[in-house]
Structure 1
Amino acid sequence: MLAESEITRVLTVTAHPDDVDFGAAGTVALFGDRGVEVTYLVVTDGDAGGNERELDNSGMAELRRAEQTAAAKAVGVTDVRFLGYADGSVVPSLELRRDIARVIRQVRPDLVITHHPDRNYQFIAPSHPDHRAVGGSALDAVYPDARNPYAFPELLTEEGLEAWTVREVWLTGGSTPDHWVDVTEAMDRKLTALQSHVSQVAHVEGFTDFVRGRFASWGERAGFGPGHYAEGFQVVPTA
């Protein structure tokens, strides 16, 4: 597993606005505290989400992009990119792999954080079809696409993007996390980020208590003890 000193650039690849904030915003905030550069790549605009359907899909997409941008700023991230795929219909594809590989070559991260591509039968919420499609495509983009100069040759010949090897991937939402991050000192910032997604969470009664309870239980599972909060990941060495 990479040492903290070996992580200087991080790319998160998620399906929808708010996914990174549920899964990893505390960890991202701590990365920022150490001077790590973090980029968010969001595959869809979340246009099929939202509790109140007063906006059409185009209006919802614009709103959710703005919410994600605000959430990112709450944890110190200013580089937020959207691919604009249709919410709810993402499938693994060569096009998606190419688009993620492009950003990997642009950002040149040491670490990629993305969704677990397998269904979690213990807790279904992380297993949205878009999540699984994005996680699988992101892993394919990491290996072999981004590091292979012969994959998607137009990225090199037309865009000048040299091959890049990501050294490690952290998966969120899986049933077998093997790496825990104590995010206690960043928990308030994680909550601020999540609450920036007004269209998604404002109607949820007791939302703050729900979030604190979930991540406190993970803090206990991680062995950090009472009063601590944790985010969990499955580490995939890729170098």
Structure 2
Amino acid sequence: MIDPNNFINSATQRVLAFAAHPDDLDFGAAGTVAAMTSAGVEVQYCIMTDGDAGGFDDRDPAETVRLRHEEQRVAAARVGVSTVHFMGERDGYLEPSHDVMRQVVRLIRQVRPQIVMAMHTERNWDRIQRSHPDHLACGEAVTRAIYPAVENPFAYPELLAEEGLEAYKLPWLWLYGAPKERENGFVNITEFFGQKMDALRAHFTQHPDVEAMEKFVLEQCRANGVRANMPSDELAEGFHLVAVNADDTIAGF
């Protein structure tokens, strides 16, 4: 078990968090993000699809995109995030293609974070709704981009030749929405749970029953706290923490 709370300090300067859709990060990691920004960490978001196939109202897809972008900006601001990148892929069609991976590599090399967050690559059979195909594609694209492309100067050489973006060795990958057996680190978000809920409420196009959503999220965070062996009244978010480049990492193995 790794204690991710040890990373929420001045040693972590920048975090880049990827999600398939607007609201995914708010369900999976917004409490942790609030804890990070409160500690002075700069966190940026990248939303890979426009969320144009989401919601329950009958509205024009272009209007849905506009609303969901605005919802995500508002939600991000509520947990201390001021920069939100929108990749613009179509909702339901995300794939770990080279075009998508190139965009991921570009952004990671630009931001040069100590931690990248992304959705988990493995299907969760306990709750298959966590494993929307776009969620899996988000995790797969980011994971493939991180190793080896981000740190390989010969991968997507145009990024160096045309944009001056040099290879970068990322220290950590934090995957959220993981199957329980993969989670090896929990962040205590008790102090920041209110901000997490405020962020989720910003996605008004997605919640026909806000009360049920809030009850579900609270129950999930309580269960995470129990699995993390925290006191019964404390809340947590769980991650699969992967050391990409640690002190003992050997290139290519």
- Report the TM-score, using the length of structure 1 for normalisation: 0.96
- The answer as to whether partners of 1:51 and 1:203 remain within 8 angstroms in 2 is no
Q: Distance in 2 between matches of 1:205 and 1:193?
A: 15
Q: How does 1:82-93 map to 2 (within 5 A)?
A: 82-93=86-97
2:113 is equivalent to residue 109 of structure 1: yes
Native 8 Å contact 1:126 1:173 kept in 2: yes
**Pairs within 5 Å for 1:49-68:** 49-53=54-58, 55-68=59-72
User: When the two structures are aligned, how many residues end up with a matched partner?
Assistant: 238
SS at match of 1:206: helix
1:208 counterpart = 2:191: no
Does the aligned pair in 2 maintain the 1:216–1:228 contact within 8 Å? yes
**Cα separation, 1, equivalents of 2:213 and 2:98:** 38
Question: What is aligned with 2:49?
Answer: 44
Q: Deviations over 1:182-225 (max 9, x none)?
A: 00000000000000000001434432222111111111111112
Q: 2:174 aligns with which of 166, 170, 184?
A: 170
Q: Percent identity?
A: 44
Counterpart code for 2:52: D
With over 3 angstroms needed to count, the CA separation of the structure-2 counterparts of 1:234 and 1:76, relative to structure 1, is same
CA contact (8 A) 1:178 1:233 kept: yes
- More displaced 10-residue stretch of structure 1: 20-29 or 171-180: 171-180
Letter in 2 for 1:135: G
Q: Does 1:199 align with 2:205?
A: yes
Aligned to 1:83, what secondary structure does the other structure show?
strand
Residue in 2 that maps onto 1:189: 195
Relative to the length of structure 2, the TM-score reads: 0.91
Residue 229 of structure 2: aligned partner:
223
Q: 2:159: which partner in 1?
A: 155
Supply the AA of the counterpart residue of 2:33: V
Aligned-pair CA distance for 1:85: 0.2
Return the alpha-carbon distance in structure 1 between the equivalents of residues 60 and 95 of structure 2: 23
Cα-to-partner distance string for 1:127-181 (whole Å, 9 max, x where unaligned): 1000101101101111111111111111111111111111110111111211000
The question of whether the paired residues in 2 share the 8 Å contact of 1:148 and 1:163 is answered with yes
Amino acid at match of 1:209: K
Secondary structure at the aligned position of 1:180 is classed as strand
Question: 1:29: how far off?
Answer: 0.3
Paired with 1:26 and 1:153, the residues of 2 have a C-alpha distance of: 37
- Say whether the 8 Å CA contact 2:52–2:64 is kept in structure 1: yes
* Alignment partners' CA distance in 2, 1:62 and 1:74: 19
Q: Is the 8 A contact 1:195 1:202 kept in 2?
A: no
Deviation at 1:10, TM superposition (A): 0.3
RMSD of aligned Cα (Å): 1.2
Corresponding letter in the other structure for 1:96 = V
CA distance in 1, matches of 2:130, 2:168: 28
- Which residue in 2 is equivalent to 1:118? 122
Q: Deviations over 1:106-133 (max 9, x none)?
A: 1100100101111011221211000101
Deviates further, 5-14 or 34-43: 5-14
Q: 2 CA distance for matches of 1:48 and 1:108?
A: 32
